[in-house]
Amino acid sequence: MKKFINSLKTRKIFQGEKLDSESLIVAQKLLVNMHLDFLPHSYVEFLKQYNGVKADGAYLFGATVDDDLDIIDKNEQMRRPKNCILLGYNEFDTLVYNFKKKMYQVIDREDFTIIDEYKENEAGYALSQIFSV
Amino acid sequence: MKPKGSKFARKHNIITEEPKKKLPPVPPEYYDFFENQYGFAKRFLNLYYDEQVELISYLYKLSSSEDKEYAEISSAYIQKIHELTDSDYEEGSYEPVAVDEKKLIRMDCYGSISRRRPDQLSDLYRYFQGRKEQKHHLLRDYDLDSSPFWKVMAQFESFRRIAPKVKRALYKAQINPDALKVMTVNDYCDLIYKAFAGNTEKSHFIKKQESVKNRFIRQFMKECGDSFYRLLIDKGIDERCVKALCNKMKRFGSCNLDSLIVTETHYTPRVLKDLKKAGFDTGKLEAGMPIPEEFINYLVDNGQEKLILARNEDGSLVNPYQLPRLEVHHGFAVKFADADYLAASNYPDRLVLIEANMHRGYYHLFDSLVKQNNLQNYYSRLNINNKYMRLRIGFSDEDALYGDFENTAAFRQRAAEDKKHRVNYFECQKEYDRNVIDIMSKYAEEFRQYGPKKMLKNLPKQGSGNDVKIVTLFGRNKGKNRE
C-alpha cells in the first residue's frame, strides 16, 4: 500500500477533503444500513491518506462530499455484484471489496467477470490496478 | 366543518376518505413526468444535465418495479431517451473472451502493466527464473514464435512493438529458451513489468502518450477538434478553459481535468507585470493582445505556467471543472471481441469519448449478464447505433460529434497486420498444455532433484503414462475464464 500511496504523491490528481472521523463513522453506518459491510481496514488506511481520488477516468471512492467520489452515492447508484462494496472504477473495470470472501476484486465493468482477486493485505496491488492507468 | 357525503351515504358508511393520490417514488420535481406523459422528450431535454442523469436512474429503477403502471411509463420513457441518443438496448448470448484476453485488451489500451504477485506466476517460469544455466544462451535462441501465449499477446500491435525488448530481457536474465514454450500471460507481464518499470506501481511499456487511448484522443482532435471547440464554447464554457483542454488533448492525448493548466489566452496587465518580473521582454506587448500558443506551451513545459494562469476578475483561479469530464467508452462491447478479432477492441473507430456522468449513469446502466456456464452467456447492453459517433456530452443531437476514423491508410495497414497475427486462444492453450508435458518430461530428472515440492507432486510416475492428469494438476492461470 505504501508504494501505491507514494506513487500518488508524484501525480496530479484530485482528492477529496481530508478524512475526519465523523465522516468515516457515518459512511460505515450507511454502508451497513445498505446491507453491506464495514470498509476493510486496509482501505480505511488508504482513506486516511487520500479520502478519495480521481484522475483520467479512474476513481477511488472516499467518505467525501465530492459527487464523483462519494462512496455512499456510488454504492447506491452503480451496479455492483452481491456482497460487494464498490470502491472505485476505471474505464474497463470496477474495484470492489467482497466482504463474504474478504477479498478485493477487480471485476469487468460490463459483465462482472473477476479479472483479479487480492487479499486484504494486498490492497496496494488492487488499488493500483484500478488507478494507475 | 360540514361532513362529507349525504346523510344516507354516511348512514350506510359508504362515504370513505377520498383515496389518496398515488405519488411516484421520485423526488417531487419529477412528478410532472408521471402526471403528464405528453412531450416527454422535449421536457426531458429542458432539464439540467445532472437532472437528466438523475431522472434516468429513477426511471431505470422504476422500470423493473412491481408497480406495473410506473414500470410501463418508465420503460417507455427510457426508450424515448435511447431514441434521443440514437442507442438501442440489445439482449443476446455470446461466448466470453478469456480473462487473459481481457487483461491484454486493457494493457493494449493503456500501454501499461501492473505489478504481478509471485503467486500469479507459473511454477515452471519461477523454476526457470532461478535455474543456473550451464551454457550461455544467445539472443537468437529466444524464438517468441515458439511461445503459445506470446502469440496470444502478439495479436496486439503494442506487444509486437516491444518484442525485441522482450527478447532482450529474456537474454539478459539468461532464462532458458525452453521457458518460452511454457510462459503464461502473467509470466510475460512479470518480465515486461521488470524490464520497463521505474519505481512505480505500473510500467508503461508504451510511452503514455503513444498508448491506444492517448492516440485516439489525439486523432479525435485532429479530425473533430474544431467542432469540439465550438461545441464547448456554445455551451457557455469559459474560452480559456476550452482552449486549455483542446491544447492538452491535441498535444498529449489526455483529457484529464485534474492536471489541466488553464492559462490566459490574451495578455492581461497582471500577466505582463508577472512576465516582466520574471525577466521576459514585454516592451512591445500590450494588454488584450493574444498570447501565442507556442509561448504558452513553452512556459507550461518549463514549469513557468504560474506567470500566465487564467484568473477571474476577483483574482481567483479559473475553475476547470466547468468543462465536461471525458472518459473513453468502448462502443463495441469488449466481450464480443472474439467474434471479430481481439485487437479490434481498441481500434479508434470503436472508441467514443463520453461525459463521465453519462458514461456511468446511462451507457453502463443497462449492462447485465446472466451466466449460464463458462461458454455461453446471456447479456444485455446499450449499443450506439451510429458507428461514426466519436463524442457525446449530452442527450441532444447537438451534443454528439461524428468522425470516420477507419478510413485512413494507417488504420488499414494496422488492421491488415493485426489480422495476420490473429490466433485462437483455445488452440494456443492446447499447444501450451502439450508443451508443459514435453518440458516436464524433458526436465523430469532435474525437477525430481531440485524442483519445488509442488512440482514434484505433478511429475509423472515412471511408466504411468497419465499425461492428461499432469496437465490438469499443473495447468494454472491459463483456462478460459479461470484465474
Summarised one tens digit per residue, pLDDT across range B336-394 is 544 567 888 888 888 999 999 999 899 988 887 666 565 556 777 888 999 899 999 99
- Binary contact (A108, B335; C-beta < 8 A): yes
Q: Which residues of chain A does B483 touch, with a Cβ-Cβ cutoff of 8 Å?
A: 114, 116-117
pLDDT of residue B372: 58
Give the chain B residue whose CA is nearest to the CA of A89.
Answer: B360
- Binary contact (A116, B483; C-beta < 8 A): yes
The Cα of B327 is separated from the nearest Cα of chain A by a number of Å equal to: 5
pTM over 0.90: no
The residue count of chain B comes to: 483
Q: Residue B361: which of A77, A109, A129 has the nearest Cβ? A: A77
- Binary contact (A55, B96; C-beta < 8 A): no
Sheet holding B326-330, edge to edge: B326-330, B351-355, B389-392, B400-402
Q: Which residues of chain A does B213 touch, with a Cβ-Cβ cutoff of 8 Å?
A: 91
The Cα of A5 is separated from the nearest Cα of chain B by a number of Å equal to: 10
pLDDT of residue B483: 33
The Cα of A96 is separated from the nearest Cα of chain B by a number of Å equal to: 16
pLDDT of residue B470: 39
Contacts of B324 (CB under 8 A, 6+ apart): B232, B355, B356, B393
DSSP sequence for B113-144: EEPPPGGGS-HHHHHHHHPPPSSPPPGGG--G
- Cα distance between residue A54 and residue A61, in whole Å: 8
Contacts of B446 (CB under 8 A, 6+ apart): none
pLDDT of residue A12: 80
Q: Which residues of chain A does B356 touch, with a Cβ-Cβ cutoff of 8 Å?
A: 57, 68
pLDDT of residue B460: 52
Which of B56, B57, B58, B256 to probe by mutation at the A interface, max A CB count within 10 Å? B256
Collect the ranges in chain A with pLDDT lower than 50. none
Q: Residue B258: which of A54, A79, A112 has the nearest Cβ? A: A54
b/e per residue, B79-91, with b = 16+ CB within 10 A?
eebbebbebeeee
Which 8-state DSSP code applies to residue B349? G
pLDDT of residue B376: 57
> What ipTM did this prediction achieve?
0.84
pLDDT of residue B482: 37
Give the chain A residue whose CA is nearest to the CA of B255.
Answer: A56
Q: Which residues of chain A does B112 touch, with a Cβ-Cβ cutoff of 8 Å?
A: 132-133
The Cα of B443 is separated from the nearest Cα of chain A by a number of Å equal to: 31
Per-residue cell: B347: 481500434
| Cβ neighbours of B321 (radius 10 Å) | 12
- Binary contact (A56, B103; C-beta < 8 A): no
pLDDT of residue B12: 58
- Cα distance between residue B185 and residue B190, in whole Å: 9
Collect the ranges in chain B with pLDDT lower than 50. 337-338, 462-483
